[in-house]
Amino acid sequence: MTKQQQQGGFTLIELMIVIAIIGILAAVALPAYQDYTNRAKGTEVLLAATTAKVCASEKAQVGRSPAGCDASFTATKYAATLTITAAGVITVEGQSDMDGFDIVLTPESAPGTAMEASDFTDGTNISSWVCTGTIASPAKATWLPSTCS
């Protein structure tokens, strides 16, 4: 008598279990990955204000209005516009995937004390910047960088 060789392999049930596990993992991982990439885009919107922040800090030290510090802004893929007030408040509006995502940077002369337009004419230092965000659909608050509230 000869022995029959058994052919190795997976049963249909085993393959279906593996596919189900992969599906569950993908359902959990994909939204987390999308949130992560949108948070990176939100950081780009924040970084678009860097030049205006430096300009406003310099203007505060020499006693001039920061109102013209938005003139050198160039739109990026995710940052559409940048405006700065006479009190140094910078607003960056998102675009494209970041529609409804705006970041507002407010200069402070001391912790908890927002600067006013008159502070810039006196020649002072900006001690810190407070970052806040205004979110409208389809943007989400979880897209804000960790330094913003």
Q: Are 87 and 65 in contact (CB under 8 A)?
A: no
Residue 9: the pLDDT is 82
Torsion of CA 50, 56, 60, 66, to 10 degrees: 180
Residue 6: the pLDDT is 66
Residue 10: the pLDDT is 85
Residue 149: the pLDDT is 77
Query: Sorting pLDDT into bands at 50, 70 and 90, what band is 30?
Result: confident
Judged by DSSP in three states, 133 sits in: strand
Question: Does the domain at residues 12-143 carry the CATH identifier 3.30.70?
Answer: no
Per-residue pLDDT at 4 exceeds 70: no
Q: Which residues contact 105 (CB under 8 A, 6 or more apart)?
A: 49, 53, 89, 90, 91, 92, 129, 130, 131
Q: Are 77 and 44 in contact (CB under 8 A)?
A: yes
Q: Express each pLDDT in 63-108 by its tens digit.
A: 999 988 999 899 999 999 999 999 999 999 999 889 999 999 999 9
